[in-house]
Amino acid sequence: MLKSPPYSYAIEHDAVLPPGEALRIETGGDRAEDTALERHWGFTKPILRDEGDVGRLATYTDITIACTAWGDNAC
């Protein structure tokens, strides 16, 4: 799961990244245009604040794998 409270994005169980590849998830865009390495959250307005926000990659049981924060937020 990619989480930025109060939002979350479920990454399918069958998503596989080859060594050296990266998965890009854009907050906007059309999910119908998803590819193996580029996904779209589907929002029509920004959901991340320039002043500060947090993005967290977590398992489905909510164990944090990675986290990044900026501005007035912290992981």
The reported pTM is 0.81
pLDDT for 46 equals 94
pLDDT for 14 equals 78
Q: What is the DSSP letter of 32?
A: G
Under DSSP, is residue 31 helix (H, G, I), strand (E, B) or coil?
helix
Output phi, psi for 33, to 5 deg: -95, 10
Provide the residue-wise pLDDT of the chain in tens; the chain has 75 residues: 999 999 999 998 778 899 999 999 999 999 999 999 999 999 999 999 999 999 999 999 999 999 999 999 999
CA distance 23 to 26: 10
pLDDT for 31 equals 92
